[in-house]
């Protein structure tokens, strides 16, 4: 049984991620543009490039274990929140705004754990709420399992924040965040939800890089 392998290397001002010697993602560090090319193209274009195999690390394994454990915790919190009465004074907007900030912090933190960083932070209205959104384009240069971690990390941070409030008997305050989590898990292309990005980039491996004959 052959395992899927990834390789990474540099060539002048380019970064190259080799996906199992089949296709490659190339980043032009001068323009911050990404390209998807065949392995044969890279071998021809970047003659003599040395690509190093990316190995699984303890960090990868621990984070994936944490993600797996977060799923039943989320299910339990959702189940317990079903019968909670929400009175008319309950104001979810501020909670939802805070949830979005925590969510984006999760993406940014995951990128930094893998030696990458958010390309930029933008102020925009996300699902009618004003928020700061981080650009996760650098995840293109990560193996698929690390892409999934980056895209899920925002949800993971939301689950952790809800779990803390849950233990403080404040599960009612988690309802907007839990709704945000479930909506974000839906694979909606138009909104580029995390569920969509996990499905597209992490599982189906369908990239959206600019097509070009020249990298």
Mapped to the 3 state alphabet, what secondary structure does 91-159 carry? CHHHHHHHHHHHHHHHHHHHHHHCCCCCCCEEEEEECCEEEEEECCHHHHHCCHHHHHHHHHHHHHHHH
Considering only CA atoms, which of 81, 77, 136, 138 is closest in space to residue 104?
Answer: 136
pTM: 0.86
Cα(170)–Cα(162) distance, integer angstroms: 9
Residue 202 DSSP label: I
So where are the chain's domains?
6-53, 58-203
Cα(126)–Cα(92) distance, integer angstroms: 15
Per-position pLDDT tens, the chain of length 215 = 456 899 999 999 999 999 988 889 999 999 989 999 999 999 999 988 889 999 999 999 999 999 999 999 999 999 999 888 776 656 788 888 899 899 999 999 999 999 998 877 777 766 566 667 788 889 989 999 999 999 999 999 999 999 999 999 888 889 999 999 999 999 988 888 899 989 887 677 655 444 433 34
């Amino acid at each position: 049984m052959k395992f899927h392998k990834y390789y990474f290397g540099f060539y002048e001002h380019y970064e190259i991620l080799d996906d199992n010697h089949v296709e490659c993602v190339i980043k032009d560090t001068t323009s911050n543009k990404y390209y998807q090319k065949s392995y044969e193209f890279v071998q021809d274009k970047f003659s003599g490039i040395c690509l190093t195999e990316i190995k699984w690390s303890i960090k990868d394994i621990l984070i994936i274990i944490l993600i797996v454990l977060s799923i039943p915790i989320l299910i339990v919190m959702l189940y317990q929140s079903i019968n909670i009465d929400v009175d008319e004074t309950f104001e979810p907007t501020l909670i939802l705004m805070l949830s979005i900030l925590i969510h984006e912090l999760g993406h940014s933190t995951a990128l930094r754990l893998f030696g990458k960083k958010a390309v930029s932070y933008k102020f925009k209205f996300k699902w009618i709420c004003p928020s700061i959104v981080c650009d996760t384009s650098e995840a293109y240069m990560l193996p698929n399992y690390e892409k999934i971690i980056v895209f899920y990390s925002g949800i993971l941070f939301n689950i952790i924040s809800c779990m803390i409030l849950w233990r403080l008997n404040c599960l009612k305050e988690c309802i907007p965040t839990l709704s945000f989590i479930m909506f974000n898990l839906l694979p909606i292309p138009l909104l580029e939800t995390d569920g969509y990005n996990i499905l597209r980039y992490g599982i189906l491996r369908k990239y959206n890089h600019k097509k070009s004959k020249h990298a």
